[in-house]
Structure 1
Amino acid sequence: MTDDDYPPPPPVFLSPGAPPEAQSLLDRWNEQWPGRHPWRSSARDARPDAVVRFHTLPNGGQELRHNRDARTVSRKFRRIVRATEHVTGLPAAVIIMADERSLGDCRDLIRSTVPGLRPWVTDPYPFPNDDDDVVIDDGPASPLESHSFRSGPVDDDMLTALTRLVHYFDADFMILPEDLSWAASTYDGGVDVVLRTAAEAEALADLFTDWLPPEGWGGFHTWCRDATPRERRLLS
Structure 2
Amino acid sequence: MPVPAVLDSLLGWFAFRWSQLRWAFKSAWRRARGHNGAFKRGEVSARAAELTGLWERTWPAADPLGYVLRAEYPDRWVRFHGLPESKRYAESDAEYDEILRRHRTVLRELHGSDDFHTLHLIVADWGWRDLAAGWSKRRLPGAWPWRSSPADDDPDAGRNYFWAASGLSNGEIDALLIAVADDECRVVIGASDLAWLYCPYDDGADVLLPSPVERDALKDRHADWLSSHPQGL
TM superposition score normalised by structure 2: 0.70
Residue 164 (structure 1) aligns with? 178
The reply on whether 1:53 has 2:63 as its aligned counterpart is: no
Matched position secondary structure for 2:64: coil
Q: Which structure exhibits the higher relative contact order, with contacts defined as CA atoms closer than 8 Å and separated by 6 or more residues?
A: 1
Choose from 141, 144, 147 the match for 1:118.
Answer: 144
| 1:1-236 superposed matches below 5 A | 16-20=41-45, 21-86=47-112, 93-102=119-128, 110-124=136-150, 127=153, 143-152=158-167, 154-213=168-227, 217-222=228-233
Q: Is the 8 A contact 1:94 1:150 kept in 2?
A: yes
> Which range moved further: 188-197 or 155-164?
155-164
- How far, CA to CA, are the matches of 1:33 and 1:107 in structure 2? 25
- How far, CA to CA, are the matches of 2:171 and 2:107 in structure 1? 13
Aligned residues: 192
- Specify whether residues 35 and 218 from structure 1 end up closer, same or farther in structure 2 by C-alpha distance, changes over 3 A only: closer
Q: Give CA deviations for 1:60-119 in whole Å, capped at 9, x if unaligned.
A: 1112222221111111101111111139xx98520011024349xx76764453211100
- How far, CA to CA, are the matches of 1:26 and 1:15 in structure 2? 17
- How far, CA to CA, are the matches of 1:22 and 1:15 in structure 2? 15
TM superposition score normalised by structure 1: 0.69
- How far, CA to CA, are the matches of 2:211 and 2:42 in structure 1? 35
Between the two proteins, what is the percent identity of the paired residues? 26
Residue 231 (structure 1) aligns with? none
The CA deviation at 1:174 is: 0.6
Please identify which structure carries the higher helix content: 2
Amino acid at match of 1:97: V
- How far, CA to CA, are the matches of 1:100 and 1:146 in structure 2? 6
The CA deviation at 1:125 is: 6.0
> Unpaired runs of 5+ in structure 2?
1-38
